[in-house]
A and B are shown apart, each in its own frame.
Chain A
Amino acid sequence: DAGVTQSPTHLIKTRGQQVTLRCSPKSGHDTVSWYQQALGQGPQFIFQYYEEEERQRGNFPDRFSGHQFPNYSSELNVNALLLGDSALYLCASSLGWANQETQYFGPGTRLLVL
């Protein structure tokens, strides 16, 4: 039973560039959430996708966008990168978005913006 997978594991970009991060949910899950974790802090909710639509969004600018595919996998896109976007980006999957189902996290993608 495959858990949540994310790619790439590490990424280095420069300011102003764009980045795409990828996530495959745990087998049987249909909902994907994305979180940003700055060093020394807890994860912060970015948004959540279910049935290929964004269902909830945290306090993040429009530079952060996403997509969910028919196979439930998801992408997080960040445009016009800022130094402050350097963080660990975590994907979590769960079953259903309206219920309080347990979210299981992937290993994350470490993004460094120079």
Chain B
Amino acid sequence: GESVGLHLPTLSVQEGDNSIINCAYSNSASDYFIWYKQESGKGPQFIIDIRSNMDKRQGQRVTVLLNKTVKHLSLQIAATQPGDSAVYFCAENTGNAGNMLTFGGGTRLMVKP
């Protein structure tokens, strides 16, 4: 399949280790945040979301942390697997009304067996 991102920041981790992917968002008025995973040749796949009234949310093997003070979002993946290899995007909802998403630049996660 074609490459999603050729010059993205890359995080390389060993299989079984934990991964942390960081994202700085731009709009202090944003109150809804989403992490998407995009594999080569595919559309973004929803991973987990968080609203601004929370600072942490956990899913299956994933945790999202939100620091509104410094406008920072992170995605933690526990026990990273080869299937986690992909490009990860954070997105913020910046519409005062509506559902427009603004995406960050993305981070490529590479899992070494």
Tally of chain B residues near chain A (CB < 8 A): 33
> In the complex the two chains form, is A44's CB within 8 Å of B3's CB?
no
Main secondary structure of the interface of A (DSSP, over half): loop
At the interface with chain B, which of A14-22, A64-72, A74-82, A92-100? A92-100
Task: Assess the A48–B6 pair: CB atoms within 8 A.
Answer: no
A41 to B15, CA, bound (A): 26
Contacts of A56 in B (CB 8 A): 95, 98-100
Please report the C-alpha to C-alpha distance between residue A105 and residue B39 in the assembled complex, in whole angstroms: 12
Q: How far is it, in angstroms, between the C-alpha of A45 and the C-alpha of B6 when the chains are bound?
A: 21
Docked pose: A13 CA to B6 CA in angstroms: 24
Within A97-114, which residues are at the interface with B (CB < 8 Å)? 97-108, 110
Q: Report the separation of the CA atoms of residues A106 and B8 in the bound assembly, to the nearest whole angstrom.
A: 22
Of the listed residues A41, A55, A98, A108, the one surrounded by the most CB atoms of chain B closer than 10 A to its CB is A41
Please name the residue on chain B nearest to A46 by beta carbon: B100
B43: chain A residues at CB < 8 Å are: 4, 90, 105-108
In the complex, whether B42 has a CB less than 8 A from a CB of chain A is: yes
B contact residues around A110 at 8 Å (CB) = 2
Interface pick from B28-36, B57-65, B78-86: B28-36
Instruction: Say whether B99 contacts A103, CB under 8 Å.
Output: yes
> Beyond the given A100-B31, A105-B46, could you list 5 further A-B residue pairs with CB under 8 A, ordered by the A residue number?
A41-B5, A42-B106, A55-B98, A103-B34, A108-B42
State the B residues within 8 Å of A (CB): 2-8, 31-32, 34, 36, 41-46, 49, 51, 89, 91, 93, 95, 97-106
Binding site for B on A (CB under 8 A): 4, 31, 33, 35, 39-45, 48, 55-56, 58, 90, 92, 94, 96-108, 110
- 3 tightest Cβ-Cβ pairs between the two chains A and B: A42-B103, A105-B43, A100-B32
